[in-house]
Structures are given as C-alpha cells and as structure tokens.
Amino acid sequence: MIQSPTARGIAIFLLAGLMFTGMDLMAKLLASRVHITQTLWARYAVQMVIVTALITPRARQVLKTKYPRLQAVRSVFLFAASVFFFAAYLRLDLAESIAISQLSPLWLTLGGAIFLGERFGPARLIAVLIGLCGALIIIRPGTEAFTPWSFLPLIGTLCYAGYALTTRFVGADEDVWTSLFYSALFATVVLTVAMPFTWVPLERSDIPFLIGIGAFGAAGQLFLIRALSLTEAGILAPFFYCSFLWAVIFQITIFGDLPDTATLIGALVIVAAGLYVWRRETRKSA
C-alpha cells in the first residue's frame, strides 16, 4: 500500500495519463469519419452528464467554488488544449502527436516555479530535460514530424500546462468534484451552441467511441485533479512522458505499427527520468 502522498499522487497521475491516452486513441480512430466539433462535444457533454449524475445528491455543496474566476480560466485552458490536440489527429499519427505533447512538462515545471513558487532545483530540471531528450530522440527534429500540423499539439501543450497550473493552484482547497464539473462547463456550453451548425450524421458504430471519449476524459480529469491536489506540479512533470509509452502500446496493438530503434531508446530514457524522480521524491517524503 502506498503511504506517501507524493507516491500516491504519482501513481494516480500515471492512471490519468492512461485514461487520456485511451481518449486520444478513440479520437484518432474517429478523426477521419466524425466532425471534430462532434468529437469534442462528446468529450465534454458525456463528462458533464456523468459528473452531474454523481453530484446530484449534494449539488448545492459541490457547485460552490472559492475560485470562480480560476475555474473559468481552467475550463477555457482545457477546452483550447483539446481543440489543438484533437485537430492534430486529423493529420498526425497518435504516437507522433503525443510525442510532441511531451513538451508539457517543461512548461509545467517552469510555470510551477514562476507562478506557484514551487522549488526548481537542479535535480528536477535535469529529470525534465532528460525526459525531454527522450521525446526528441523519438520525434527526430528535421524529419516529417515537423510539419505545420506539428504546431497544433505544440500550442496545445501550452494550453494544457496553463490548465494544470491553475488546477494545482486551486489544489486541495476545492472539492475534486467541483473542479471536475467546472472543467467541462465552458466547453460543453460553447460546443452545444455550435452543434446545430456542424452536425454530420453518425454511424451506429461511432456512438460507443464518442461515449468512450467522454468517459475516459472524465476519469482522466478526476485522476489528474486528485494527483495535483496531492503532489507538486514539478514532481509530476516528468511523468507526463509516460503517456507516450501508452501511445506506443496502442499504436502497436491497434494500428500494427512497430516502434523503431530510436523510439525504443527514447522510451527507455523517458522511463529512466520518471523513475529517478519517483525514487528521489518518495524517499524525501517518506
């Protein structure tokens, strides 16, 4: 049993990464058949339905927030990140898009130091940079990965880092379910208004994937919010890289694409950076 709050936060964060990668996989599978607005609407509308159903018995308590403006900012940041990431799946491979998104830890660690006053010692910096090097080994700058479409997930990383930092600032002062509800509120309202203008008839086989996108997204948000309430953003930052490992696994099992030598080397570097932070930080907080 994991006793340390830091260790629990890291473990929960890894689960969040798995949920989000599963969501991304389903979005990628639908990218060529379903309009992006419909996919995004399902992502947030399903989350709203799930969360609303679960909080109904204590809705009055859950809907009270100490940080209404920050909750609004969080919702906008998350919506913007989703737009850029989902748009990238129209042209980029799942693993390729998620590999580029691995720049998020750098922005998150720097933002945690600048805006939240978190420690930013050499050990954290080295771990994040090592993980970033692993991602760059996989991306291989100068190859076809760096197309204009590659800027979509890059911008998405900045938006996602903004969301994670505001979530960390809200932290334990806010009920997890309060943050989960408001995370999807802005996107659900905007996309519901846009739906009549972008609706495309769906195949029955697409509906389970759309529901799955929302369910996986809701679970990922719940785990992420909980992890950030337990552990500093700078500690969690290197573990963003593990989402790429999930993407590689899905790429192999679903699309039949085997990773090459560079991908395997980069993945090992990413794992090494994450394990280094896990061991160092959990020892300190034990």
Give the pLDDT confidence of 254-278 residue by residue, as tens digits: 888 777 787 788 888 887 887 777 6
Percentage of residues of the chain with pLDDT beyond 70: 95
With vertex at residue 223, the alpha carbon angle to CA 1 and CA 122, rounded to the nearest 5 degrees, is 80
| CB neighbourhood size of 204 (10 A) | 6
- Reported as a pLDDT band with limits 50, 70 and 90, residue 46 is very high
**pLDDT confidence bin for 222, thresholds 50/70/90:** confident
Q: CA 169, 172, 176 angle in degrees (round to 5)?
A: 100
136 secondary structure, DSSP code: H
* Least confident piece of the model among 59-63, 116-120, 125-129, 262-266: 116-120
Residue-wise pLDDT tens digits, 162-198:
998 898 888 767 888 898 899 889 999 999 999 988 8
Most confident of 34-43, 136-145, 241-250: 34-43
Question: What's the average model confidence in pLDDT over 229-252?
Answer: 82
CA 70 to the chain's CA centroid: 18
Q: State pTM to two decimals.
A: 0.81
Tokens of 177: 């379910």
Instruction: Please tell me the distance from the alpha carbon of residue 172 to that of residue 32, in angstroms, as a whole number.
Output: 40
| Predicted pLDDT of residue 265 | 86
> What's the rounded Cα separation, in Å, for the pair 57 and 52?
10
pLDDT of residue 144: 67
Mean pLDDT of the 222-227 span: 87
- Exposure b/e, 119-145, CB count within 10 A at least 16 = b: eeeeebeebbebbbebbebbbeeeeeb
DSSP for 220-265, please give it: HHHHHHHHHHHS-HHHHGGGGGHHHHHHHHHHHHHH-PPP-HHHHH
| pLDDT at position 243 | 85
* pLDDT reported for residue 211: 94
Tens digit of pLDDT for each residue in 54-84? 899 898 898 999 899 999 999 999 999 999 9
Q: What is the mean pLDDT of the chain?
A: 85
